[in-house]
Amino acid sequence: MKPLLQKLTETFSPSGYENAIRAVIRAEIEPLADEIRVDALGNLIVRKGQASKNGKKIMLAAHMDEIGLIATHVDENGFIRFTTLGGVRPHTLLGGRVRFADSTPGVIGGERITDTTKAYTFEQLFIDIGAASRKDCPVKVGNVAAFERPFLDLGKRLVAKAMDDRIGCAVLIETLRGLKITPHELYFVFSTQEEVGIRGVTGAAFGLDPDLGLAVDVTGTGDTPKGNKMEVALGKGPAVKVKDGGMIADPRIVDWMIRAAEKAKLPYQREVLEGGTTDARAMQLARSGVPAGCLSIPCRYVHSPSEMVDEKDLQNAVKLLTALVSAPVELD
């Protein structure tokens, strides 16, 4: 799965500009789909299977977009001020490299500060593309950029920008690729604009009106020095979300996921995330409501240019998701 993950993470596609990553994913899954379409918000929707007598319509979602930057002003010397697309943190930016949609590269610099104990604010940062003047700068107000980072293979651990949520996309692709039989009508949704308000999946969930929904996304960890006090760590298996900052997972979905993991003898963790949320929130609130949950991939340094995951967690997430959708679903 490493070559697939490298291809996905190195593709430029910030929120609202998902064309490139949608084309990459479509090329991977088109031979596997019974039906494939793109909706008005750019979501890639893939149907697999037809529901049997005891089957359900199940929606599986992973978002394609990544966090990014958008130019707000170019000064007379060609330096670019910016704001964010999604939850970018200023302390992760200084000295980082970015690339605009037209392939223009740049480096993030900062104004001189006298108190080095304080982090930069967004207002103190700018992008330098090597231009000498505003006229010399090809970047215009409204142009978007994404982090420029190569995929890094550390053996068991993998590092890249946009693991959030290209790793979820990889899990859906590999599940679709390895799925042999299912009693359900499955909809694999590669959603847009999750990082700027869970927008794409909101329309997709309304249109599909599933019997149940499951997001696949990253979650933070508590396994770094003086890190968050959180019972999730790399290498201990995918996490079953119980609650995050935007939703309480349906307890029946949580139990269903845990039963499947234990039956398949797969490692898993229970996740309570104090901040942030996923596409599962929108699925849960669609129409008159949908039982929803989330399969989470532990990830260090979320929303930074270098997000880290464990390859075994990725593999076990695929195994668990495959087990979940290959058998009848009984929600007690």
What are the φ/ψ torsions at residue 319 (nearest 5 degrees)?
-65, -40
311 is annotated as an active-site residue: no
pTM above the 0.85 mark? yes
Q: What DSSP element (H or E) covers 69?
A: strand 68-74
Pick the catalytic residue from 28, 185, 194, 271. Answer: 194
How much is the average pLDDT of 167-195? 97
Confidence label for 302 from pLDDT (cuts 50, 70 and 90): very high
Q: What is the dihedral of CA 249, 255, 257, 261, to 10 degrees?
A: 140
Please give the angle made by the CA atoms of 43, 215 and 89, to the nearest 5 degrees.
Answer: 85
Q: What is the dihedral of CA 162, 166, 168, 172, to 10 degrees?
A: 180
Question: pLDDT tens across 48-78, in order?
Answer: 998 888 899 999 999 999 999 999 999 999 9
Domains (range + CATH), the chain? 2-66+161-326 (3.40.630.10), 68-147 (2.40.30.40)
Residues sharing a CB contact under 8 Å with residue 40, sequence separation 6 or more, in sequence order: 203
Q: Which two tokens stand for residue 169?
A: 């996309």
Residues sharing a CB contact under 8 Å with residue 168, sequence separation 6 or more, in sequence order: 62, 63, 215, 216, 217, 218, 297
Cα–Cα dist 105/87, whole Å: 21
In this model, does residue 332 exceed pLDDT 80?
no
Cα–Cα dist 130/112, whole Å: 18
Q: In this predicted structure, what is the pLDDT of residue 133?
A: 96
Q: For the purposes of burial, counting CB atoms within 10 Å of the CB of 247, is it exposed (0-12), middle (13-18) or buried (19 or more)?
A: buried
Q: For the purposes of burial, counting CB atoms within 10 Å of the CB of 135, is it exposed (0-12), middle (13-18) or buried (19 or more)?
A: exposed
